Amino acid sequence: MFNVRISNWLRHTKIILDGVIRMAKAMVEGVNVLVHCSDGWDRTAQLSSLCQIVLDPYYRTIKGFEILIEKEWTSVGFKFEHRCGYFVHSTSHQLYNETSPVFIQFLDCVWQLLQQFPKEFEFTEVFLLDLYKTICECKFGTFLKNCDRERRVYFFSSLLIFILFFFFFFFSIFLDC
C-alpha cells in the first residue's frame, strides 16, 4: 500500500494552504498579489484557485466551482494528460517525469476547506469524489488533453471516427439487404 507519510502529501497540502492564507490576508488588506510559480502551470493554478474559493463565496457554489476550474485550469492549458499520466505508453522518461497529482492535490485542498467550513460550500465531498472519478476514468474530454486545441482535435477526430464507423456500418447493412 502506498505510504502517505513517505510522499509528504500532507506536508505539501499544508504548504499550499499556508500560501493561500497568506495571499488571502494580503488581498483583504489591499495588497496586490502576483502568483507565478516556476513554470506557471501547477502551483499557480492551485494557489490562485484556492484563494478565490477562500475569498469569494461564488466559487464555493457548484456553478462557481465549475467556472473556476474552466478559467484557472482548462482554458489556460493545464497539462491534464501529462500530469495525470494518461496514455503514457511511451518509453520516454519525459512523460513520466511530468506525471504529478497536481489537480488531485487541489481537490484535496478544497476537501480540507470543506471539512473545516462545510456550511460555506454549496457542494459536498460527494461532488469532489465524483469529479475525481471523472478525471481518473477519462469519461469526458475536458480533462483528457493538455490544452483547448488538443481537446478540439481529439473531439473532432473522435467524431470523425464515429461518423465513419456509422457510415460503414449503415452501408454494410444496406448492401446485405
Domain count of the chain?
1
Task: Report DSSP letters for the chain, one per residue.
Answer: ---HHHHTHHHHHHHHHHHHHHHHHHHHTT-------SSSSSHHHHHHHHHHHHH-GGGGSHHHHHHHHIIIIITTT--HHHHHTTT---S-HHHHHH---HHHHHHHHHHHHHHH-GGG-SS-HHHHHHHHHHHHHT-SGGGTSSSHHHHHHHHHHHHHHHHHHHHHHHHHHHHH-
Residue 52 in domain: yes
Domain assignment of residue 106, given as a range:
4-146
The predicted-structure confidence for 120-137, as pLDDT tens digits, reads as follows 999 999 999 988 887 777
* pLDDT tens digits, one per residue of 3-54: 667 778 788 899 999 999 999 999 999 999 998 776 656 678 889 999 999 9
Per-residue pLDDT at 52: 96
Q: Tell me whether residue 109 is one of the annotated catalytic residues.
A: no
Q: Is residue 77 part of a domain?
A: yes
**Which tops the pLDDT comparison, 170 or 78?**
78
Residue 118 located in a structural domain: yes
pTM above 0.85, yes or no: no
Domain for residue 53, yes or no? yes
- Whether 106 is in a domain gets the answer yes
Q: Does 150 have pLDDT greater than 50? A: yes
